[in-house]
Amino acid sequence: MALPELPVTSFALLGLLSFGDEELTGYELKQRADITMRFYWVAPAMSQVYSELKRLHEHRLVRVTGSGRATRYRLSARGRRVLHEWSATPAGFPVWKHPVALRLMIGHASDQETLRGMLTAYLEELVTSRADLQEVRTMLSAADAPGETYHFPGLVADWGLAHFDSEREITEKTLRRLQEDDA
Partner DNA sequence: ACAGCCATGTAACTCGTTACATGATTAC
Partner DNA sequence: GTAATCATGTAACGAGTTACATGGCTGT
Site for a copy of itself in 46-75 (CB under 8 A): none
Look at residue 79 and give the partner it binds from a copy of itself, DNA, none, a contact being a CB closer than 5 to 8 Å depending on partner kind: none
35 binds DNA (CB under 7 A): no
* CA 64/CA 75 separation, integer angstroms: 9
Residue 12, amino acid? A
Look at residue 39 and give the partner it binds from a copy of itself, DNA, none, a contact being a CB closer than 5 to 8 Å depending on partner kind: a copy of itself
* CA 91/CA 164 separation, integer angstroms: 22
Look at residue 152 and give the partner it binds from DNA, a copy of itself, none, a contact being a CB closer than 5 to 8 Å depending on partner kind: a copy of itself
Select from 129, 110, 24 the least CA-distant residue to 67.
24
Q: What residues pair up with 72 in beta bridges, in sequence order? A: 25, 65
50 binds DNA (CB under 7 A): yes
Site for a copy of itself in 134-173 (CB under 8 A): 146-147, 149, 151-153, 155-156, 158-160, 162-163, 166-167, 169-170, 173
* CA 169/CA 122 separation, integer angstroms: 12
Instruction: Tell me the C-alpha to C-alpha distance, in Å, between residue 156 and each of 63, 134, 152, 163, 179.
Output: 28, 12, 6, 10, 35
77 binds DNA (CB under 7 A): no
* CA 43/CA 31 separation, integer angstroms: 9
Which of these segments, 3-11, 79-87, 111-119, 121-129, binds DNA (CB under 7 A)?
Answer: 3-11
What's the DSSP call for residue 25? E
31, 47, 65, 87: residue in contact with a copy of itself (rule CB under 8 A): 87
Cβ atoms of 71 and 62 closer than 8 Å: no
Which of these segments, 48-56, 77-85, 111-119, 127-135, binds DNA (CB under 7 A)?
Answer: 48-56
**Residues whose CB falls within 8 Å of the CB of residue 98, separated by 6 or more in sequence, listed in order:** none
* CA 4/CA 75 separation, integer angstroms: 15
Question: What residue ranges bind a copy of itself (CB under 8 A)?
Answer: 8, 12, 15, 18-19, 36-37, 39-42, 80, 83-84, 87-88, 90-110, 114, 118, 121-122, 125, 129, 146-147, 149, 151-153, 155-156, 158-160, 162-163, 166-167, 169-170, 173-174, 177-178, 181
Question: What residue ranges bind DNA (CB under 7 A)?
Answer: 6-9, 25-28, 42-48, 50-51, 53-54, 69-72
